[in-house]
Amino acid sequence: MSTPLSDWEVVIGLEVHVQLHTRAKVFASSPWGFGKEPNEQVDPVVLGLPGTLPVVNREAVEKSILFGLVVGASVPEHCSWDRKNYFYPDNPKNYQLTQKDFPVVVGGQVEIELPGASRNVMGEHKFIRIHHAHLEEDVGKLSHAGSGSLVDYNRAGVPLLEIVTEPDLRSSAEAEAFLRSLVAMLTQAGVADCDMEKGQLRCDCNVSVRRRGVEKLGTRTETKNLNSISSVRDTVIYETARQIRELEAGRSITQETRGWNAELARGYVLRDKEDAHDYRYFPDPDIPTLKISRETVTRLSKLVPENLYDRQRRYVEKLGLPYTAAALLVNDRALAEWFELAVAAHPTNPSGIANLVANDLLRDLAASSGSAGAFDESASTPVSLASCPIKPAQLAGLVKLTDDGVISKQQAKEVFAEMFKSGQDAAAIVDAKGLRQNSDTGELEKIVQEVIADPAVAKSIAEYRAGNEKAINALKGPIMKRTQGKANPVLIDQLLRKFLG
Amino acid sequence: MAEGFDIDHLAKLARLSLTAEEKALYSSQLNQILGHFQALADADLPATIDDARVVNEAALRSDEPGPVLGAEAVTRIAPASRDGQISVPRVVDDES
């Protein structure tokens, strides 16, 4: 029910807050991380105690610029910070340091892929424009208990990049696809980990509806603090249906800020426009304007990984991979690079390598790490290849043995399982297990001649000679049986045709 | 000039309860103040960044974690605390 009524169009813009991958906070040297005891990751700068001054963390700035380069944004010559004033105990200073007039990232776009008609068909691609992204500080965490509230400032001051899209999204599916694509880009560039269970990515979702064909945007609502992709999807579906219902009943939409209750799967009003805060933004006097050198931009541009979908197109068009395998591999940069190392070692059969990686390797890695769901395509956590017992060149070796007809595809599965267990080379396992298919022509010729001479197969031979090509297959079984399955099927076929020809 | 604000809304945001006379007085004074800012906004000035306030990347901090105060010290300077957290009157507005 992504579009409840077809004569309405939904318009969505997202503000995505991402905690950047740094060790220290954005304006203070206090460390930060998930799961620490309350208020154990706080220093005087975080609290804004008298006499302290914020100093911007270089890594946070560079990660922000890197994000800009990943989405093809322009990196401005300067950026600066402003104070957003508000009185709420999640912020110890009574203002949040943010960027209003001169953000670190301006423009850019994110390519998204919508679901296809079926699993193995690629869906439509679309570009979603980024308005800007600004580097600010995260705020503390409140928990409400009885008559009071408790404040933990561990999260206060964590570097937060707020990525603001243009209102380019037109359905819950597009919002979902955008977030998946964004998460892949952020994690693959090492900008952020985007672990939603740890609150590292949170989203504000602006939704409005308008009659199809109408240009003017409808009144929008903003649903704040969504902490999962499914919550964003559900909010869009809920808010679209609610707004259309209101408008069709002749009522109007109030511009308001809303919350989302994921358990009840429903939204609620937080405050309307009349209560809108006046944040009294002004330039922060403690932090000078920062000049971003072009040398830094050049250096960081070298860290931009190949775009997810450029890689996917390359795999399909240049390497001849099926779409499903390509889509699976490119979702995880480490896995894609592992695959490419294997292809470099055996360049003639990328599909054969992709098949083993996408099926056997991922399955066994998941089983050994105990995270069976990790390769669900909806999961954003990359696979840990660090503990993979098979090296890319070894996998390439296995595929080469199969391609050269030394072992059968069925035997390759067996060898793969053994490689995953022992980390040995495919050839060593093949030899140790005596799996090498018999390509000794002399010995095989004898067996083939013996089998042909057997009266039991005389009928098949006659049929073959009469023009029934398939009849030759009836002779292969007995030969395989005599060689205990070690004979090279290609060679058997050649010899049979030679003697029967 | 036309008023660019709604005095009732401003009074509400400022948590002020104003009489009709006060509203008229403050509206007139605010209009004067806004008039001054409008004059500044109308001035034909280049949109440049104040060079005196610009630093380069050498002024940035390296990403090295430093010391922390510890929950005990953090909560000690707060008027009230509980379980290592700062205790405040119940607040419900879901900011951030």
- The verdict on a CB contact (< 8 Å) between B88 and A89 is yes
Three-state SS across A415-480?
HHHHHHHHCCCHHHHHHHCCCCCECCHHHHHHHHHHHHHCHHHHHHHHHHHCCCHHHHHHHHHHHH
- Chain A positions touching B85 (Cβ under 8 A) are 38-39, 143, 150-152
Separation in Å, CA of A178 to nearest CA in chain B = 22
Residue A378: predicted pLDDT: 42
DSSP letter at A20? Answer: B
Domain-embedded: residue A1 = no
* Chain A: closest CA distance from residue B21 (Å): 23
Chain B partners within 8 Å of A22 (Cβ): 63
Comparing CB atoms, the residue among B63, B71, B84 nearest residue A57 is: B63
A257 with A328, same domain: the answer is no
pLDDT value, residue A144: 85
* A357 and A282 together in one domain: no
A296 with A344, same domain: the answer is no
Residues of B with CB under 8 A from a CB of A: 9, 12-13, 49-50, 53-57, 59-71, 74-75, 82-96
Residue A259 belongs to some domain of the structure? yes
**Which A residues 98-117 touch B at CB under 8 Å?**
102
Contact A290 B63 (CB under 8 A): no
Cβ-based contacts of A61 with chain B (< 8 Å):
57, 60
What's the N-to-C CA distance of chain A in angstroms?
65
Sheet holding A148-152, edge to edge: A141-145, A148-152, B85-89, B81-82
Q: A153: which chain B residues are within 8 Å (Cβ-Cβ)?
A: 74, 86
Structurally, chain A folds into a number of domains equal to 3
| pLDDT tens per residue, range B18-74 | 999 999 999 999 999 999 989 988 988 776 766 778 999 999 999 999 999 999 999
Predicted local distance difference test score (pLDDT) of residue A166: 98
Range of the domain at A67: 8-300
Are residues A250 and A131 located together in one domain of the fold? Answer: yes
Domain boundary among A300, A325, A351: A300
CATH of the domain at A484: 1.10.10.410
Residue A121 DSSP SS3: coil
Nearest-neighbour CA in chain B from A294: distance (Å)? 11
Residue with token string 């109408």: A214
Q: How many residues does chain A have?
A: 501
Tokens of A449: 């001649």
A173 and A109 in one domain?
yes
pLDDT at B46: 75
B16 chain-A contacts, CB cut-off 8 A: none
Cβ-nearest to B95 among A47, A90, A288: A90
CA dist A231 and A224 (Å) reads 11
Residues (pLDDT < 70) of chain A are: 1-5, 273-276, 370-383, 437-441
Q: In chain B, what residues touch A142 (CB-CB under 8 Å)?
A: 91
A27 plus A166 within the same structural domain:
yes
ipTM above threshold 0.90 = no
| A208 to chain B, closest Cα gap in Å | 22
Choose among B67, B74, B96: nearest Cβ to A39. B74
B60 chain-A contacts, CB cut-off 8 A: 55-58, 61, 290
**Residue A253 in domain:** yes
Chain A partners within 8 Å of B47 (Cβ): none
Smallest Cβ–Cβ distance between B88 and the set A102, A139, A148 belongs to A148
Beginning with the edge strand found earlier in the chain, give each strand of the sheet holding A95-98 in spatial order: A95-98, A82-85, A282-283
- Are A493 and A476 within 8 A, CB to CB? yes
CA distance B83 to chain A (A): 8
Pair A67, A143 in one domain: yes
Contact between A69 and A75 (Cβ < 8 Å): yes
Nearest to A259 among B56, B74, B94 (CB): B94
Residues A166 and A18 in one domain: yes
- Catalogue the long-range contacts made by A495-498 (C-beta closer than 8 Å, 24 or more residues apart): A495/A441, A495/A444, A495/A445, A495/A448, A496/A448, A496/A452, A496/A472, A497/A472
Could you tell me if A340 and A480 lie in one domain? no
Residue ending a domain, among A300, A319, A338, is A300
In this structure, the answer to whether residues A91 and A199 fall within a common structural domain is yes
pTM value is: 0.84
pLDDT at A438: 61
- Contact check, Cβ <8 Å, B89/A38: no
A460 CB near a chain B CB, below 8 Å? no
List the one residue out of A485, A478, A396 whose CA is nearest residue A434: A485
CB-CB under 8 Å, A23 with B63: yes
Q: What is the pLDDT of residue A442?
A: 72
Shared domain check, A262 and A149: yes
Token pair for A300: 């960081």
Across the interface, do B66 and A24 touch by the CB < 8 Å criterion? yes
Query: A3 in a domain, yes or no?
Result: no
Measure the CA–CA gap between A459 and A142, rounded to whole angstroms.
85
Q: Domain check: are A276 and A339 in the same one?
A: no
Report the distance separating Cα A209 and Cα A207, nearest Å. Answer: 7
Contacts B88 to A, Cβ<8 Å = 89, 148-151
What is the percentage of chain B residues whose pLDDT exceeds 90? 58
